[in-house]
Amino acid sequence: MAKRAGKPLPVAKAPPAAFAIAAHPDDIEFYMAGTLLLLKAAGFAIHYMTVASGSCGSLTVGPAKLRSIRRRESQAAANILGATYHSTLTDDLEIFYDLRTLRRLAAIVREVRPSILLTHAPQDYMEDHTNTCRLVVTAAFARGMPNFRTTPMRPAEALDVTIYHAMPHSLRDPLRRPVVPDAFVNTSSVHAKKRQALAAHRSQKEWLDASQGMDSYLASMDRLSSELGVMSRRFEHAEGWRRHLHVGFNAVDSDPLASILGAAYLANPSVPAF
């Protein structure tokens, strides 16, 4: 503790942290950024990371140049959101549930010490999303296990963390079955900034138009958030969330988004409570 004139000075308490971890550049903006912005407004330090570099997202640009482009775009998007940017760990289609990646991701989770983790759905339309989810869940589970070595080494600390899973792409699982959120977050007030952050990923428009028929990626995000808003029967724009099982992570009734976001959070009455 710092001292002045023989008396200890109070040490400022660090704000709580919320950490969004997704697979590819622009995934956070599509599925999670509105909630992240609302948490920032509530006093959280927010953190931003995509596990993959975006190296495969072009028909015309090679991977080395594309990694650099996508990194600059992601940093610009994180700056718009007011989030701390964390570097990627691997390339597109190379996100595997393996020990090397897990040790590196677990080190970052221990550094950030989040009380809220936002990540992909457990089943999604591509394996990069699904494997990112698995890595995030295990990295969080291992946060308090000193015998699990991270790369680089970081001390273990068993702090409570609540994991929320975003909606899968198209709001369906890989077998085309609809996925219904446990809760909706009203992102109407921050939709414009979320859209601005997504627009920072300029290299994505041509790629998504050509590869996945997504029209404008901005319009696609608008439609997704509007569809969730309609589903909520209350909000114009929304993000949907499903809460991970509490065992090994937090108290049984821990739902910090509900307590922090207040009226901006709406539990889905059609989903039975735990």
Tell me the pLDDT of the chain (274 aa) as tens digits.
444 556 777 667 889 999 999 999 999 999 999 999 999 999 999 999 999 999 998 888 999 999 999 999 999 999 999 999 999 999 999 999 999 999 999 999 999 999 999 999 999 999 999 999 999 999 999 999 999 999 999 999 999 999 999 999 999 999 999 999 999 999 999 999 999 999 999 887 666 666 666 557 888 899 999 999 999 999 999 999 999 999 999 999 999 999 999 999 999 988 877 6
Q: How far is CA 78 from CA 28, 161, 200, in A?
A: 10, 22, 9
DSSP 59-79: SSS-HHHHHHHHHHHHHHHHH
Residue 264 three-state SS: helix
Q: How many C-beta atoms lie closer than 10 Å to residue 8's C-beta?
A: 9
Q: How far is CA 217 from CA 92, 171, 206, 209, 214, in A?
A: 19, 16, 9, 8, 6
CATH no. of 17-267: 3.40.50.10320
